[in-house]
Structure 1
């Protein structure tokens, strides 16, 4: 008998230990965002400090002030954001359908939890009038701990 265990009757068959290891690795990889979020919350709760990347600023360009206000207010109402700045008259130049376009747009700076960025982006794509709205985020690296505590309270938990 083989000391390494019984041989697989089919060519190319994985041993159970290899298959179990692969499943554990895959499950760990797929649940990484959830574990990261939980570990960041635990670290902040235990140390009373802020962990870089817990919060993000989401940038969104809108065609006019009314649409910008509607998106800002809805993001706040849905607890997807704690604060939104509306910056008027951003000049934008960009390629669209092979041509250089120029427009005046309104820029939103939306402050939220990094864990909410995906849901917020999906919501904005749903209500935004542009075919491909400009929605991207940057993590907040440093800042006032009191501000981050206020931001935490303003955004609903997952």
Structure 2
């Protein structure tokens, strides 16, 4: 009986078990995005079907077409995306330093894995000339299986 008491907390000592529960809960919340991505990829491989949210489209505005091409090529070279569309002459109106500004910009539509968005965002902030580049993403809900397979292959490391 003495041995059992050394492994199990006594009825009045709940602090260590509460601390452990909080630690496990915190670790679970912090690792959730990674675990979700891995489980979605595993499910996709097992079933051979597309799981919604595995891929995303990232929108980025650039000040001109040359910069847009340079950013797109750099992203593709780093295997952070499989495809980038460059849509010229988007008219933009926005607040900057308390004033309404107007500009003509070039829009990039970047197709990538949702799991690569953090790395992609960090890289774009490094190479983009804007102080705060417009950068947001939307998950792909549906898509042609062959196209999605092509996206996957386009981001594989060689």
Mean CA deviation greater in 71-80 or 26-35? 26-35
Matched residue, 1:105:
105
TM-score, length of structure 1 as denominator length: 0.90
Q: Deviations over 1:12-63 (max 9, x none)?
A: xx61111111111111111111111111111111110000000000000000
For residues 64 and 119 of structure 1, the distance between their equivalents in structure 2, rounded to whole angstroms, comes to 23
Indicate the RMSD between aligned Cα atoms, in angstroms: 1.4
Query: Given the alignment, which residue of 5, 23, 29 partners 2:10?
Result: 5
Q: CA deviation at 1:156?
A: 3.5
For residues 56 and 65 of structure 1, the distance between their equivalents in structure 2, rounded to whole angstroms, comes to 23
Matched residue, 1:26:
26
Matched residue, 1:57:
57
Question: How many pairs are equivalent?
Answer: 149
Matched residue, 2:114:
114
Gaps of 5+ in 1: 9-13
For residues 74 and 17 of structure 1, the distance between their equivalents in structure 2, rounded to whole angstroms, comes to 50
Matched residue, 1:72:
72
Alpha carbons 1:61, 1:105 under 8 Å: kept: yes
1:41 equivalent in alignment to 2:41: yes
SS of 2:81's equivalent in the other structure is coil
Matched residue, 2:125:
125
| Runs of 4+ more than 3 Å apart | none
For residues 118 and 55 of structure 1, the distance between their equivalents in structure 2, rounded to whole angstroms, comes to 13
Gaps of 5+ in 2: 1-8
Alpha carbons 1:82, 1:151 under 8 Å: kept: yes
